[in-house]
């Protein structure tokens, strides 16, 4: 066999902490052939990033490579090179480029992007400053940055996340590396930006004949880009094969569980429980004996899986998995996991009085301004939005970053004061109150009824407070309960969100992202709210944990009769939880419809673009979405384009009206409206056309039967 570009054998990277040795990477074999894309998949905490960083010896203390070999180009042994030595530095950046998860934070804020780019160029190539500048501008152009000449002299914080990731790619590619290591390069980005970055990477790969080691937790992305897939769990590769093998014939229960937990776009409109993987990745301090996955596996064979580590079995050309299941011919029918449990929900009574009616809501932020300055402009973050939420319903609010959906959510919860408009909230007594005008003690009363779940589970919990204090705080500030009663209520709420009450005295740092988000939910629900504003509650979470949290939100809604305003940039997530969906673009509503109708056939080109930006977890259909690509980033919200705000990026833009006249939100059929001049004449592609469910069933049926 031809020697691959990169061959990792028996790699072991351990962290020597005061609590013992953590075996983050424990015997990984992985090869990256020249010109191919290899995806390394797994949940957070499985050792994917550490594996990637080990290749260039970028693991921070107290981590250290303790064994194995990393053979580069058939010749150089990277694992044993001096980490500060000349030889390794030549490989870093020169032969292997790397990009990271948080593009904005991966660039120093103190230097312009051009300075950092030209510096990288001059490290490995003998260029004068002027040559480096020309080369740098050319690179920026190559990675699709408009106005490269001007952007060269901007600072990273003046660019969007997607632009920063393009700059990172330019830096990584500046010396024509043979391998690009991409560590979750799109996880922190919007779906639309993700789609464009993935396309860029694939194009550059083809142009430069470069191999990519792509690390991600998202199998949808894997299906888009991968040639080969390696699934990693607790420091080991548990399955490896070509992308077709992994998606059509997954052998390891972990791979299959991951595949099942992707929230797919289905277009059926029915709300459905997602299949989540039980529990969470165990701590590296207590790696289960035997097969490390047996604690979460639905098929674990007693007396075997928890005792003997499974051997690597070959299932065909280049397809291996380490699982005991095929050793036991007639696997005892494991208690079949409730696969694809569908909870069809009848859309809430249309006759019911709405719980919340937002009318003409606007929120404008001045730009700049101060004691001696006039504001230099105004950002119309929310610009005349109407929204209606019926009791017991979930309304999904969708759009890219910067389109004003979070601001709208904050206005509804009165965390921000609206500039204009009315927020009519129906109280339990049945009368409507305009929340926009309520202040002081009365507002406090409504704060009990309208609660918010925040996006970032890591920064939205005070690290110096115990769970009891965090979850109990609203009870105390509203004078609802104290002392023993407070403790009982907190314990009860923790149980409801799936946390053990014994955790009450612990601090947030002891919990994983998913668990913290449960705490966040508990804090929101403890006051017995009627309306919950969930602001991107799952975007910071892994796919598998995302499914758990979405299911939890659905369960709680049914149990407690909650009404949700669910904010997200990801239409695939929204479909699973919403009854109605409202799409926002640059502060305005562009489409509003029942979930099923919207997904079956969108009426606004923006909705269509958002829908098709979601990666489809089916390698056979990769690049299908290319037809629906939208260009560029969001326009400057301080100076929105005239006419239809979307016309600068619209694939269906026409000469008449679009560029000059602002489209009104018009009714199209029953309970749906769109703000597009040509909505009636356009036939936009939804996702209902190709039914995916039978395939999913078939794929899973193989072993679950």
Partner 1 sequence: MLRYIGRRVLILIPTLAAISIVTFVVIQLPPGDYLTTLTAQRASQGDGVPTGEIARLTERYGLDKPVIVQYWQWISAILFHGDFGESFDYARPVSALLAERLPLTIALSLVTLVFIWAVSFPIGVYSAIRQYSVGDYTFTFFGYLGLAVPNFLIALVLMWVGLQFFDLNAGGILSPEYRDAPWSLAKLGDLAAHLWIPIVIWGTAGTAGNIRVLRANLLDELRKPYVVAARARGMPERKMTIMYPVRVAMNPFFSTIGWVLPGLIAADAITSKVLNLQTTGPLMLRALLAQDMYLAGAILLISAVLVVLGTLVSDIALGWLDPRVRLRY
Which residues here bind partner 1, judged by CB under 8 A? 53, 56, 58, 60, 84, 89-94, 97-98, 100-102, 105-112, 119-120, 123-124, 155, 157-158, 168, 171-172, 370-373
CA distance 413 to 452: 7
Q: Which is nearer to partner 1, 100 or 214 (CB)?
A: 100
Core vs surface per residue 626-645: b (16+ CB within 10 A) or e: eebebeebbbebeebeebbb
Q: Which is nearer to partner 1, 175 or 651 (CB)?
A: 175
Q: Which is nearer to partner 1, 153 or 664 (CB)?
A: 153
Q: Which is nearer to partner 1, 76 or 112 (CB)?
A: 112
**Residue from 196, 40, 32, 177 nearest 103 by CA:** 196
Q: Which is nearer to partner 1, 42 or 97 (CB)?
A: 97
Q: What is the dihedral of CA 117, 123, 128, 133, to 10 degrees?
A: -10
CB of residue 45 vs partner 1: minimum separation in angstroms? Answer: 18
Is the distance from CB of 395 to CB of 432 less than 8 angstroms? no
CB of residue 111 vs partner 1: minimum separation in angstroms? Answer: 8
Radius of gyration of the chain (CA): 26
CA distance 643 to 422: 25
Q: Which is nearer to partner 1, 93 or 392 (CB)?
A: 93
CB of residue 109 vs partner 1: minimum separation in angstroms? Answer: 6
Q: Which is nearer to partner 1, 1 or 84 (CB)?
A: 84
Q: Which is nearer to partner 1, 90 or 422 (CB)?
A: 90
CB of residue 166 vs partner 1: minimum separation in angstroms? Answer: 14
Token reading at 248: 């059509």
CB of residue 236 vs partner 1: minimum separation in angstroms? Answer: 24
Work out the angle at residue 537's Cα, subtended by the Cα atoms of residues 199 and 285, and round it to the nearest 5 degrees: 90
Q: Which is nearer to partner 1, 161 or 529 (CB)?
A: 161
Helices of type H across 143-234: 148-151, 161-173, 191-208, 219-225
What does 385-427 look like in DSSP terms, one character per residue? EEEEE-TT-EEEEE--TTSSHHHHHHHHTTSS--SEEEEEEE-
CB of residue 280 vs partner 1: minimum separation in angstroms? Answer: 24
CB atoms within 10 A of CB 94: 17
Q: Residues near 429 by Cβ (< 8 Å), separated by ≥ 6?
A: none
The DSSP bridge partners found for residue 420 are 362
Q: Which is nearer to partner 1, 124 or 600 (CB)?
A: 124
What does 157-181 look like in DSSP terms, one character per residue? GGS-HHHHHHHHHHHHHTT--SEEE
Token reading at 426: 């129906």
CA 496 to chain centre: 25
* Sign of the dihedral defined by the CA atoms of residues 103, 107, 112, 116, in that order: negative
CB of residue 50 vs partner 1: minimum separation in angstroms? Answer: 12
Q: Residues near 594 by Cβ (< 8 Å), separated by ≥ 6?
A: 269, 347, 579, 580, 581, 671, 672
CB of residue 85 vs partner 1: minimum separation in angstroms? Answer: 10
Q: Which is nearer to partner 1, 63 or 267 (CB)?
A: 63
CB of residue 443 vs partner 1: minimum separation in angstroms? Answer: 31
CB of residue 695 vs partner 1: minimum separation in angstroms? Answer: 38
Q: Counting Cβ atoms within 10 Å, is residue 568 exposed (0-12), middle (13-18) or buried (19+)?
A: buried
CB of residue 8 vs partner 1: minimum separation in angstroms? Answer: 17
CB of residue 56 vs partner 1: minimum separation in angstroms? Answer: 6
What does 320-347 look like in DSSP terms, one character per residue? EEE-SGGGSTT--------TT-----PP
Q: Which is nearer to partner 1, 34 or 58 (CB)?
A: 58
CB atoms within 10 A of CB 681: 9
């Amino acid at each position: 066999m031809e020697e691959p570009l990169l061959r990792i054998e028996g790699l072991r990277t351990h962290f020597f902490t005061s609590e013992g040795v953590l075996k983050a990477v424990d015997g990984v074999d992985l090869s990256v052939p020249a010109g191919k894309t290899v995806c390394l998949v797994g949940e957070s905490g499985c050792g994917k990033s550490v594996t990637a960083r080990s290749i260039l010896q970028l693991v921070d203390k107290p981590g250290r490579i303790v064994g194995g070999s990393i053979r580069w180009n058939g010749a150089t042994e990277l694992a044993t090179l001096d980490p500060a030595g000349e030889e390794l530095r030549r490989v870093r950046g020169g032969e292997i480029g790397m990009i990271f998860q948080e593009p904005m934070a991966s660039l120093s804020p103190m230097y312009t992007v051009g300075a950092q780019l030209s510096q990288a160029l001059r490290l490995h190539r003998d260029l004068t400053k002027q040559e480096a500048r020309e080369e740098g501008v050319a690179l920026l152009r190559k990675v699709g940055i408009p106005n490269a000449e001007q952007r060269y002299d901007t600072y990273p914080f003046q660019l969007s996340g997607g632009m920063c990731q393009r700059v990172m790619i330019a830096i990584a590619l500046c010396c024509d590396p043979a391998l690009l290591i991409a560590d979750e390069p799109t996880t922190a980005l919007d779906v639309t930006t993700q789609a464009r970055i993935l396309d860029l990477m694939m194009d550059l790969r083809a142009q430069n004949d470069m191999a990519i080691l792509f690390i991600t937790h998202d199998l949808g992305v894997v299906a888009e880009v991968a040639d080969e897939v390696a699934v990693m769990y607790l420091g080991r590769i548990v399955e490896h094969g070509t992308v077709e093998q992994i998606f059509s014939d997954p052998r390891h229960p972990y791979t299959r569980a991951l595949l099942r937990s992707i929230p797919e776009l289905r277009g059926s409109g029915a709300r459905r429980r997602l299949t989540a993987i039980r529990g969470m990745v165990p701590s590296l301090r207590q790696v289960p004996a035997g097969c490390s996955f047996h604690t979460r596996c639905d098929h674990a064979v007693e007396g075997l899986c928890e005792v003997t580590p499974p051997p690597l079995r070959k299932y065909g050309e280049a397809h291996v998995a380490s699982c005991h299941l095929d050793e036991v011919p007639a696997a005892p029918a494991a208690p079949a996991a409730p696969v694809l449990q569908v909870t069809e929900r009848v859309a809430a009574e249309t006759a019911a009085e709405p719980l919340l009616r937002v009318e003409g809501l606007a929120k404008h932020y001045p730009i700049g301004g101060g004691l001696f300055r006039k504001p230099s402009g105004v950002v119309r973050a929310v610009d005349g939005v109407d929204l209606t939420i019926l009791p017991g319903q979930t309304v999904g609010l969708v759009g890219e970053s910067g389109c004003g959906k979070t601001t709208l959510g904050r206005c509804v919860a009165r965390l921000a004061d609206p500039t204009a408009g009315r927020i009519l909230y129906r109280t339990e007594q049945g009368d409507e109150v305009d929340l926009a005008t309520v202040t002081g003690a009365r507002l406090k009363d409504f704060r009990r009824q309208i609660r918010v779940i925040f996006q970032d589970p890591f920064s939205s919990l005070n690290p110096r407070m115990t769970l009891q204090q965090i979850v109990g705080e609203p009870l105390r500030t509203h004078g609802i309960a104290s002392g023993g009663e407070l403790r009982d209520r907190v314990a009860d709420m923790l149980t409801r969100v799936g946390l053990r009450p014994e955790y009450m005295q612990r601090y947030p740092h002891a919990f994983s992202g998913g668990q913290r988000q449960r705490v966040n939910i508990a804090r929101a629900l403890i006051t017995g709210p009627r309306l919950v504003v969930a602001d991107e509650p799952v975007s910071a979470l892994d796919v598998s944990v995302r499914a758990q949290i979405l299911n939890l939100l659905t369960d709680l809604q049914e149990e407690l009769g909650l009404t949700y305003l669910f904010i997200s940039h990801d239409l695939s997530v929204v479909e699973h939880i919403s009854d109605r969906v409202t799409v926002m673009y640059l502060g305005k509503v562009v489409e509003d419809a029942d979930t099923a109708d919207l997904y079956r056939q969108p009426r606004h080109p923006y909705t269509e673009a958002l829908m098709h930006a979601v990666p489809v977890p089916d390698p056979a259909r990769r690049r299908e979405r290319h037809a629906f690509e939208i260009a560029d980033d969001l326009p400057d919200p301080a100076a929105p384009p005239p006419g239809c705000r979307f016309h600068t990026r619209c694939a269906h833009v026409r000469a008449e009206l679009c560029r000059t006249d602002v489209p009104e939100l018009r009714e199209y059929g029953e309970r749906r409206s769109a703000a597009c001049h040509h909505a009636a004449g356009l036939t936009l592609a939804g996702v209902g056309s190709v039914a995916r469910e039978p395939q999913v069933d078939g794929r899973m049926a193989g072993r679950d039967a």
